[in-house]
Amino acid sequence: MLNAQVAIRQAQESDRAQVGRLIAETGHDSELGGDYYVASLEDRIVGAVTLTQLGEEEWWLDGLRVLPEFQRRGIGRALLQHAVQHAVQRAQAQGGVLRLAADPRQPIMRRLAAQAQFALVGSYLAYQTDGLPGYRPEFSLAQNIGAVRAFLDGSAYFTRAERSVEDGGIWYRLTDARLQEFAAQARVYLWHGYRHDPNMLDGVIIFAANAAPPLLRLAYLDAAVGTLADLCRAVRRLAARQGYQRIQHRFLARPERLVAIEQAGWRPPGTDGEDRDLFSRPLDTPQNRLIDP
């Protein structure tokens, strides 16, 4: 049960030092700016969470953390409820969706998310591989997003991913405006390497914003049915051509896709903690139903 003396409020400038210590002790910081809420007990900051609007009708919840000695007291649940309530209130005019990602090794987050009426979109598994020599001219930069949008609209994988891509640990809805922005930044590549017809689109990859040699991080990777292993090998050749030594990406886990990925020489990283569970909830639920009793 939550201690009645715990107050959930927006962070203030005077909290900066305590928030810094909280981050140091919990080992997690928010990736984005936004509304930063803290849990305060007798003038001590014991927990925090961040709520950020990513775009129209799109919100992201990040950095839910509680000091170890104050866990299992309902503080994380109260922080989550507070952030969700604020998102619902601020999205009342247009609705929208709120998402969060969590380390699957923390089952308590699944329970908290379910209590707050989040649904599991899926588990994203981290994979990596090396660049591969032998480049072939099978990619082109996207000049017009129409073909990309048509490919994505027909992709069951894109639909299962709730039409979102990951960039820097944050999942964004891939709107036309965002896709156009990525294309203008030369981050969207079209793959023609299966049918070898530049007028036919066999797959799409999107570089992450923080892609820089020697490490290529991908925000999205998708291929026509039955061609994923070929695209995953082609990406390795493209990466080597552009001076990247390593490639990393989180794939939405589907058994048949994981087989194809590993056939192409991709493997899970040697360190734990890279996988993520993605959750989402609509922002049209009445406030009195946010958290189960």
pLDDT in tens, 211-224: 999 999 999 999 99
User: Is the same domain home to 80 and 27?
Assistant: yes
Q: How many CB atoms lie within 10 A of CB 244?
A: 21
**The pLDDT of residue 107 is above 50:** yes
User: Is the same domain home to 137 and 231?
Assistant: yes
User: Is the same domain home to 53 and 138?
Assistant: no
Q: How far apart, in Å, are the Cα atoms of 8 and each of 41, 266, 283?
A: 9, 44, 21
CA 27/CA 220 separation, integer angstroms? 27
**Tens of pLDDT, residues 26-77:** 776 654 567 999 999 888 999 999 999 999 899 999 989 899 899 888 999 9
CA 119/CA 231 separation, integer angstroms? 30
User: Using CA atoms in the order 21, 22, 28, 29, what is the torsion angle rounded to 10 degrees?
Assistant: -80
User: Is the same domain home to 161 and 71?
Assistant: no
CA 277/CA 37 separation, integer angstroms? 23
Mean pLDDT of 253-282: 94
In a domain, 112, yes or no: no
Confidence label for 154 from pLDDT (cuts 50, 70 and 90):
very high
User: Is the same domain home to 132 and 50?
Assistant: no
**Tens of pLDDT, residues 11-20:** 888 888 888 8
User: Is the same domain home to 132 and 78?
Assistant: no
What beta strand segments (E) does 103-153 contain?
119-130, 139-141
Give the per-residue pLDDT at 1.
52
The dihedral built from the CA positions of residue 113, 118, 122 and 124, taken in this order, carries a sign that is negative
Name which of 86, 222, 91 is nearest 150 in CA terms. Answer: 222
In a domain, 102, yes or no: no
Name which of 244, 287, 292 is nearest 84 in CA terms. Answer: 287
CA 274/CA 217 separation, integer angstroms? 13
CA 7/CA 210 separation, integer angstroms? 37
User: Is the same domain home to 132 and 257?
Assistant: yes
Mean pLDDT of 122-151: 95
CA 27/CA 103 separation, integer angstroms? 13
User: Is the same domain home to 150 and 253?
Assistant: yes
**Cα angle at 134 between 128 and 137, to 5 degrees?**
100
3-state secondary structure of 260: helix
C-beta separation of 179 from 191 below 8 A: no
User: Is the same domain home to 214 and 151?
Assistant: yes
Q: Strands 58-66 and 139-141, how do they pair?
A: unpaired
User: Is the same domain home to 46 and 142?
Assistant: no
**Tens of pLDDT, residues 92-102:** 767 899 999 99
> Domain limits at 233?
125-263
In a domain, 110, yes or no: no
Q: Domain count for the chain, please give it.
A: 2
User: Is the same domain home to 130 and 184?
Assistant: yes
CATH, residue 200: 3.40.630.30
pTM of the complete model:
0.90
C-beta separation of 248 from 275 below 8 A: no
Confidence label for 243 from pLDDT (cuts 50, 70 and 90):
very high
Helices 255-263 and 228-241 meet at what angle, rounded to 10?
A: 40
Burial 7-33 (b: 16+ CB within 10 A, else e): ebeebeeebeebbeebeeebeeebbee
CA 190/CA 212 separation, integer angstroms? 20
In a domain, 43, yes or no: yes
User: Is the same domain home to 78 and 134?
Assistant: no
**The pLDDT of residue 268 is above 60:** yes
Give the per-residue pLDDT at 288.
46
